[in-house]
């Protein structure tokens, strides 16, 4: 679909009609500066910022975000300046453009260092204004959609960077729609043969099971109606990259329990549990495939009930039950605040990040303790953007840690004082050594003694997180 200025205006008109004049001003400004430029596809360059703005408008982005999206390449690729953008628009738009703009004008010969600086700017911009990350994610999304016009080498490098940096960022802020599309495009470019094989299997499965899922949906719908429960349903199949990740764990294609799912959308939380009860009346659930993310949301604030049942013809079918509000958060994450809070969304996004998102605190900690840019990006990839585990405190709080983390890492993740006074640990009701490597869904209790002289220097070899290492070294230094 070719997006036009009129398409964008129509979108914005539906939720912010008074902002149209400012939007037109930004479009004209960007079009004037990019008038001599072409994309690799041969299209006028303005097509790119126009598409980025259009995607953001589907999230009901505020006008300053839309203007910044329209202008985000002006400073980097033309003679336009930040001062002029501030003069023509406002400081908010200037700061957003500045946050998104790469530091390509730095006099650096080391491309790896320059790349690390740019990535660091993107990552830590969350603390300044979360909208910068959102613009950057959508910018990368449109660039990935048009990656076919780049060289093979550029395709591979951009796809890898997307999987390593942009996909985790999208996941952490809960923007699942962006995350899913980014990782599947990247997967297609990085492993085209495997992608093709999985896609064929997936399409074959859809043909084989379409009637089964439609019948299942109809039966559940009829039972809901008999019980006065209103709901909407959506049939879904696991996407290619998610299937690939499952296959890497040596699970066979036909044994992936959530390959097919039916999303159930209801009005309120009470109806979610009623829907669950009724579904279990019809189909036998698999007990170890039940997840209540409403009672205990994921660390990116995702809420839903997941239950996998034995469906017709021995097919496993997952039901995902949530409210319409939960669905909006599941799709858009932090960006869903634009729907609810309009122009005050920026401040609420930032506050929510600080209060509820564990990864945000980890990023701030790493940024404050690691000076070297390449090392910073390396630690971010290893500690936050690689495969993580999720363990529980004694009160049921979910704690996110990198693979390989020990109970010492856990203790320091909870609080510095707990780490500094830890003398023992209980995992799943059994005493463990302090270098015990935690596994997914472990329940952890830390035993402390304020009079004990801990931590020890040898603890440094037993932790993997930068936070724990820094706190241990700080304690040792202060007590020498």
Tell me: do 48 and 175 sit in the same domain: yes
Residues 6+ apart with CB under 8 A from 268: 323
Inform me whether the pLDDT recorded for 440 exceeds 90. Answer: no
What is the predicted pLDDT for the residue at 109?
A: 56
Inform me whether the pLDDT recorded for 426 exceeds 70. Answer: yes
Instruction: List the CATH number of the domain containing 234.
Output: 3.30.460.10
Tell me: do 291 and 150 sit in the same domain: no
Instruction: List the CATH number of the domain containing 434.
Output: 3.10.20.30
Domain boundary among 297, 316, 332: 332
Peptide bond into 323 cis (omega under 30): no
Domain count across the chain: 3
Structure-token pair, residue 252: 């066979």
Residue 449 within any structural domain of the chain: yes
What value does the mean pLDDT take over residues 396-403? 86
Tell me: do 265 and 394 sit in the same domain: no
Q: What is the secondary structure of 193-248 as a DSSP string?
A: HHHHHHHHHHHHHHHHHHHHHHHHHHHHHHHHHHTT---EEEEEE--HHHHHHHHH
Predicted TM-score (pTM) of the model is: 0.85
The strand pairing partners of 316, in sequence order, are: 310
Domain boundary among 306, 332, 358: 332
Tell me: do 240 and 291 sit in the same domain: yes
pLDDT, one tens digit per residue, over 160-189 is 999 988 999 999 898 999 999 999 999 999
Residue 361 within any structural domain of the chain: no
Active-site residue, selected from the candidate residues 77, 84, 292, 325: 77
Residue 294 within any structural domain of the chain: yes
Tell me: do 40 and 178 sit in the same domain: yes
What is the predicted pLDDT for the residue at 114?
A: 78
Tell me: do 202 and 167 sit in the same domain: no
Q: Is 77 a catalytic residue?
A: yes
Inform me whether the pLDDT recorded for 106 exceeds 80. Answer: no
Running DSSP on this structure, what letter comes out for residue 426?
Answer: E
φ/ψ region of 8 (left if φ > 0, alpha if ψ in -120 to 50, else beta) reads: alpha
Inform me whether the pLDDT recorded for 41 exceeds 90. Answer: no
What value does the mean pLDDT take over residues 280-305? 91
pLDDT class for 364, splitting at 50, 70, 90?
Answer: confident
Residue 363 within any structural domain of the chain: no
Residue 474 within any structural domain of the chain: yes
Tell me: do 147 and 214 sit in the same domain: no
Inform me whether the pLDDT recorded for 479 exceeds 90. Answer: no
Tell me: do 226 and 148 sit in the same domain: no
Q: How far is CA 417 from the centre of its chain?
A: 31
Tell me: do 50 and 168 sit in the same domain: yes
200 by Cβ neighbours in 10 Å (0-12 / 13-18 / 19+) ranks as exposed
Residue 375 within any structural domain of the chain: no
Full domain range(s) for residue 142: 5-190
Residue 16 within any structural domain of the chain: yes
Inform me whether the pLDDT recorded for 346 exceeds 90. Answer: no
Domain boundary among 298, 332, 366: 332
Active-site residue, selected from the candidate residues 5, 7, 9, 76: 76
Average pLDDT in the chain: 90
Peptide bond into 455 cis (omega under 30): yes
pLDDT class for 350, splitting at 50, 70, 90?
Answer: confident
Residue 309 three-state SS: strand
Inform me whether the pLDDT recorded for 429 exceeds 80. Answer: yes
Tell me the percentage of the chain whose pLDDT exceeds 90: 58
Yes or no: say if 84 and 56 are a contact pair by the CB < 8 Å rule.
no
Tell me: do 157 and 136 sit in the same domain: yes
Inform me whether the pLDDT recorded for 263 exceeds 60. Answer: yes
Residue 276 within any structural domain of the chain: yes
What is the predicted pLDDT for the residue at 102?
A: 72
Tell me: do 166 and 84 sit in the same domain: yes
- Least confident range from 14-28, 49-63, 194-208, 380-394: namely 380-394
Residue 262 three-state SS: strand
268 or 254, higher pLDDT: 268
pLDDT, one tens digit per residue, over 295-312 is 988 888 899 999 999 988
Tell me: do 90 and 152 sit in the same domain: yes
């Amino acid at each position: 679909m070719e997006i036009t200025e009129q398409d964008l205006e129509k979108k914005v008109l539906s939720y912010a009609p008074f902002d149209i004049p400012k939007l037109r001003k930004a479009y004209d400004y960007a079009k004037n500066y990019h008038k001599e430029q072409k994309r690799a596809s041969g299209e006028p360059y303005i097509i790119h910022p126009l598409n980025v703005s259009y995607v953001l408008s589907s999230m009901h982005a505020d006008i300053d975000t839309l203007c910044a999206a329209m202008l985000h390449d002006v400073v980097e690729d033309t003679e336009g300046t930040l001062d002029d953008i501030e003069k023509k628009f406002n400081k908010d738009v200037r700061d957003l453009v500045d946050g998104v703009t790469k530091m390509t004008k730095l006099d650096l010969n080391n491309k790896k260092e320059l790349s690390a600086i740019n990535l660091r700017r993107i990552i830590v911009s969350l603390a300044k204004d979360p909208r910068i990350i959102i613009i950057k994610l959508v910018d990368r999304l449109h660039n990935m959609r048009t990656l076919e016009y780049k060289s093979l080498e550029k395709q591979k490098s951009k796809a890898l960077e997307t999987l390593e940096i942009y996909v985790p960022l999208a996941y952490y802020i809960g923007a699942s729609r962006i995350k899913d599309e980014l990782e599947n495009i990247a997967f297609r470019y990085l492993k085209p043969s495997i992608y093709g094989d999985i896609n064929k299997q997936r399409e074959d499965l859809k043909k084989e099971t379409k009637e089964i899922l439609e019948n299942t949906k109809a039966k559940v719908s009829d039972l809901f109606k008999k019980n006065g429960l209103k709901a909407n349903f959506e049939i879904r199949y696991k996407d290619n990259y998610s299937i690939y990740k499952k296959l890497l764990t040596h699970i066979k294609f036909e044994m992936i329990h959530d390959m097919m799912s039916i999303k159930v959308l209801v009005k309120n939380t009470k109806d979610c549990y009623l829907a669950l009860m009724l579904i279990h009346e019809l189909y036998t659930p698999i007990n170890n495939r039940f997840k209540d993310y409403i009672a205990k949301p994921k660390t990116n604030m995702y809420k839903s009930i997941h239950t996998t049942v034995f469906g017709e013809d021995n097919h496993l079918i997952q039901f995902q039950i949530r409210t319409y509000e939960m669905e909006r958060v599941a799709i858009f994450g932090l960006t869903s605040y634009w729907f609810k809070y309009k122009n005050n969304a920026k401040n609420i996004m930032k506050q929510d990040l600080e209060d509820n998102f564990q990864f945000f605190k980890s990023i701030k900690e790493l940024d404050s303790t690691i000076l070297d840019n390449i090392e910073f990006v390396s630690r971010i990839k290893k500690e936050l953007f690689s495969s993580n585990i999720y363990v529980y405190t004694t009160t049921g709080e979910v704690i996110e840690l990198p693979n390989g983390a020990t109970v010492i890492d856990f203790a320091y993740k909870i609080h510095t004082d707990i780490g500094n006074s830890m003398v023992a640990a209980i995992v799943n009701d059994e005493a463990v050594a302090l270098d015990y490597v935690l596994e997914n869904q472990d329940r952890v209790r830390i035993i402390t003694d304020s009079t004990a002289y801990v931590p020890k220097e040898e603890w440094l070899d037993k932790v993997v997180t930068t936070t724990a290492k820094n706190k241990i070294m700080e304690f040792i230094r202060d007590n020498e």
